[in-house]
């Protein structure tokens, strides 16, 4: 009872089946190969199509981003120039602030910026000699 049960087959029907299955076997590998080829071709075409779409999208995006990047770079250069000018102005203001903190600065600044003349100084006015004077 340890053997597997095998049903008995009529030898006539076995011959008919074997010839039919033999013909199917001859046709089947070709059909399988054709189906496998078609599957692989479809897969490769799909992959190539997706890659072409991705490349197109990347090129379109780069085309749109390039002018934006150039304008941003121009704005950055303009801002750098403004920063340089502002830095120079701030340095000048720092120097004038340092000058104003010295004890004798108030008199000197008032002399430089106004018409105040110190007690020990006199105003000199230089006149050009005219030809009418003897």
pLDDT digits (tens, 9 = 90+) for 9-25: 665 655 555 566 656 55
**How many residues comprise the chain?**
134
Residue 82 in any domain: the answer is yes
Residue 67 in any domain: the answer is yes
Whole-angstrom distance, CA of residue 44 vs CA of residue 89? 66
CA atoms within 13 A on the CB side of 58: 6
Residue 119 in any domain: the answer is no
95: containing domain: 12-109
Backbone angles phi, psi at 95, to 5 degrees: -65, -45
Whole-angstrom distance, CA of residue 108 vs CA of residue 101? 12
Residue 128 in any domain: the answer is no
Residue 55 in any domain: the answer is yes
What total of structural domains would you count in the chain?
A: 1
Residue 76 in any domain: the answer is yes
- pTM reported for the whole predicted model: 0.41
37 pLDDT tier (thresholds 50, 70, 90): confident
Residue 79 in any domain: the answer is yes
Most confident of 31-40, 51-60, 106-115, 120-129: 51-60
pLDDT digits (tens, 9 = 90+) for 60-86: 999 999 999 999 999 999 999 999 999
Residue 4 in any domain: the answer is no
């Amino acid at each position: 009872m340890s053997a597997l049960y095998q049903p008995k087959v009529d030898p006539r029907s076995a011959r008919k089946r074997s010839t039919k299955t033999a013909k199917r076997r001859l046709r089947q590998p070709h059909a399988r190969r054709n189906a496998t080829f078609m599957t692989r071709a479809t897969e490769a075409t799909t992959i190539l199509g997706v890659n072409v779409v991705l490349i197109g999208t990347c090129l379109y995006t780069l085309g749109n981003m390039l002018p934006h990047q150039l304008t941003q770079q121009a704005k950055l250069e303009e801002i750098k120039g403004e920063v340089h000018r502002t830095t120079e102005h701030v340095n000048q203001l720092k120097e004038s602030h340092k000058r104003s903190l010295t004890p004798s600065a108030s008199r000197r600044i008032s002399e430089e910026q106004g018409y105040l003349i110190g007690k020990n100084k006199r105003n000199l006015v230089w006149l050009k000699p005219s030809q009418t004077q003897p």
